[in-house]
Chains A and B, each alone.
Chain A
């Protein structure tokens, strides 16, 4: 099956190969279509945590976030690319960006069913209070290019203290769980928050099709 697919893709590439500057776009389409057919049925492997030492991180002199999407079996190192007030945008090499407001996820780009924007001010306040009820708003761009708004009713609870280790460095954190509900849809975000309110580690929902984003500050 795979070889037939490949042969067909090659044949169609040949068919559309030509010369001159009007050709590149159709070739691009053919390659993308062929690529998407070939990737059907490809299995997602469990996320491989990249292996490197704390010394290697420190040698670069830069900040990193290690982020992974378990449902897609992908992980990447993100570098800081922008700052807008309390919002920080981090970028992968292959064109995915993730934006946090004080460690709370407010946007992603480049994943398909992206989180376009989020209002987490209520949740931030609830965490600052040590727990409580909050509303949370997500915006998604649907398949018809329309923005859809989801309002969630959430409950933030302290789930004890935990000592976590991220690449040889350990932090004392308070663990918070935020359970949100909108109709029949529920999800739970988890945050490990250290001294000074730094979110060292978290699991936060991007969108139902993509699932959660696991983040660690390195």
Chain B
């Protein structure tokens, strides 16, 4: 458990730091949603971990951008733009996705400016592609100056010869693309290393002056002459200068207005979110019941009245008492000096917090002889770990400074495989059958031809638990909104394993989304298994098997998944189509520390293509996650089609962060590139790593502060 010297507690931060001009004047943002001036980037970065949501632009260029400061120096942006009159006056608009990445090379010092190098639109179709090196320096409290050198789109204003050509002749010319921004990216999606920093360059820069905490004025000399738009006749710049004002009603909001290129008005709005700044701070969870302390002589008792009647009464008490904390008791074992509880936490995001709550309840209700509280959190009927907490430690550490570290250090965490003996099972109160009918709403964002697709309908689900770890699940859905018109975007070289997706929406309604029998197991120490049989997802049915190796205290996990599936009929019933495939992966998961997690999957994908997926996530201890993944298989860029290879971003916002009260729900936003047929994976419920890790030592340690909350 690490103690942070910096504080995020609202109010304290402002009071505690003697703020210097550089620290309290945060970056302003461009119409591209990046730290910068009006359209040009600056050398400044956002604080690590910050999200910035932006909407900006003018007339034909509307840009919605999500930026994330991945680490202290590394920042990235995802942008969805609407470019009107894309091929000339009066022509149709196009929707374009682009990615930026930037790295701060030099920190601002007394003499040195902050220097950042960046790539704009380096993965997309190339409409906004450009590279830059830019420096920003503060002078006094209220003035900062930015100067930079741009290439590509940022190198079109009074271009000069590329200074890099002094080093190597190849920098002299930039391969051209149809957009005139340099770079022939074909289907988009490839990293166009052969164009970066090539061709003519432009100087750009500007001055920001802060009139007050809320109002800043900016004058900018732009490196972007809108050459392509000028040529098409859709935008005719008349000046290289942009002038604007920035209004900041609060720290989290920024509104900008500017005159661009002497021709048009541009507006932008920006909203920043710091995931570590939770509005409810520690949360609005009601107070736990206090610890009850045993009298010293009672502690020494070697046993208690363990008649069957007494044990039954005590067991019932445990079940009812823990229910008040949303904990479903699955099984209990008493010994002379210990109580062991196997349970499922249904209320709290972390596994640490219910353990703290249960500990307190047990101090109130267990006979004094019981000294060891043994916790076995369970998911899908299998125990995930075994945590032994001494009652004396709970009594001693309540309300003490340093209790978080001390109590975690004294908790013994081991594997819980093969510990069934002695447990008395508690039959589920609501019975083995559960069912529900409810509306659903699902959304899909940023398709090339429409920004948002909303699907609303009714979902019926039924589930039957044959035993704790053998579950039947059925889900049927009835879509009420119109399905999007199916489009054939497949390429001839690859079987349409996913691009057929819209035909399922079009031809099958209502439909069976899932009909499965799933078995979870603990075949041995550190091992977890899953077998799922049936209609696994909308498009495929078959068998999915998985084995995971994950020691409780390990940062590393290894997994293997083997599936045999047959494509389902379009009508959403029980029929099949004539396509089957063996697919599966070997996976490695690693917790890199400091909140960074990585995963590598190598194997065979749905279309029978072989390849690998790499993903990197930054996970906050409070449950926020942001990550990116990319898949390359033996399908060529051409055969893959638009996007060239599969990739995407994902963001998870835990609901308890938003509302303050405990819940295990979370909102996940997936921003993937166009779903195509290469690098496609089977969608199976409850893959093991996500099921298992919350109750293991690394996750418990990073959230152990909640044990005492």
Contact = CB atoms under 8 A, between A and B. Distances in A.
A53 interface: no
A174 interface: no
Contacts of A21: 430, 434-436
Interface residues on B, range: 35 or more
Interface in B264-317: 275-293
Nearest to B350: A145
B562 interface: no
A151 to B, nearest CB: 10
B622 A209 contact: no
A209 B11 contact: yes
A149 B290 CA distance: 22
B436 A23 contact: yes
B465 to A, nearest CB: 13
A160 interface: no
B103 to A, nearest CB: 24
Interface in A97-132: 97, 99, 101, 106-107, 109-110, 112-114, 116-119
A65 interface: no
Residue from B2, B3, B12 having most chain A Cβ neighbours under 10 A: B12
B621 A146 contact: yes
A16 B438 contact: yes
A124 B465 CA distance: 57
22 contacts: A19-B438, A26-B438, A29-B655, A82-B290, A82-B292, A83-B293, A84-B395, A95-B287, A99-B290, A113-B9, A116-B708, A141-B282, A141-B706, A145-B622, A145-B703, A148-B3, A183-B16, A184-B15, A184-B18, A185-B12, A208-B15, A209-B11
Interface stretch (B93-101, B366-374, B400-408): B400-408
A197 B311 CA distance: 45
B401 A117 contact: yes
Contacts of A33: 658-659
Interface in B398-445: 398-405, 430, 434-439, 441
Interface residues on A, range: 35 or more
Given A81-B289, A208-B9, 6 more contacts: A19-B438, A109-B287, A112-B284, A117-B403, A143-B277, A183-B17
Q: Which 10 A-B pairs have the closest CB atoms?
A: A82-B290, A20-B436, A95-B286, A18-B438, A143-B278, A22-B436, A109-B287, A97-B287, A208-B11, A89-B290
Contacts of A182: 16
A18 B436 contact: yes
Contact of B398 (A87, A119, A183): A87
A148 B289 CA distance: 23
A125 to B, nearest CB: 16
A91 interface: yes
A19 B283 CA distance: 30
A16 to B, nearest CB: 6
A110 B284 contact: yes
B694 to A, nearest CB: 13
Interface in B439-464: 439, 441, 461
